Structure 1
Amino acid sequence: MKRAATLTVATAIALTPMSGALAADGAHAGTPVYTVKDSHRTVHLSVGKKFKVRTKVNSGTGYKWRWQKHPDRDVVRYKVKTVRKVVYKPPRPGSPITTTYKFKVVGTGTTTLKLRLVGPTSKVAKRIVLTQSD
């Protein structure tokens, strides 16, 4: 029997669309997608379950999501990052960029994943903290 793990999704402060909000998109084929709406919620994920974290930022603002702390590879494995930029014709400055981080629960235990939104002055503007524990 596979043991379940708990994933807590939290942000240090509320996110706004212009400063790098998480996109409010749904899940594809049963894969949970965590967004700003999931902040401060706890969900239960079984070993083998995949999940995504989706961020959004407007290009040209100087803000970028960066890793602050990777999760413990024995509990949650980072699989891939995909980036999608909205292309307008004619081109528009500040087009939104959506980044999707894909993960898989590979074991039981507790781990924390942290992403931070860094601005043009290198000052941390926002943080996303995901904690998983069994």
Structure 2
Amino acid sequence: MTSLEFREVAHGSPDYRETVLLRERMLRTPLGLTFSAPELDDEAGDWHLAGFDTTTGELAACLVLTPLEGGFVKMRQVAVEPGLQGLGWGRLMVEFSERFAGKNGYREIVLHARETVVGFYLKLGYSIEGTPFVEVTIPHRRMRKRLVI
């Protein structure tokens, strides 16, 4: 079985560009959306985390952590290559990001989950807050998880 190596990738690097392509293909294109240059420029202050197949070196999963005030970080844009979904790599990607956030002094992760993946986050210990809302044209739920540091 192949394994993943998780690491931070630098904004603007070739690995970052790969994560943008995966996120756009999985999360934006199906909604008829694309990233704008200003949106990507705004990500310069975020952490970009990715999981790479240790055998092929290819990108398998990625996400973005956006620092917020008060010890919070927002997880967003979680994406896994379609042919690799269901193998537990999304879970491992999220768990890596939780450890990464904790090591960087964050106490809690917040996120806006698409309704279709709320169950995934519930299994990982996230709780739902508030009522459903629409973001990027589809229903979402606010969720959060306190990190054990």
- TM-score clears 0.5: no
Structure with the higher fraction of residues in helix conformation: 2
Return the TM-score normalized by structure 2: 0.27
Instruction: Indicate the structure whose relative CO is greater, using CA pairs within 8 Å and at least 6 residues apart.
Output: 1
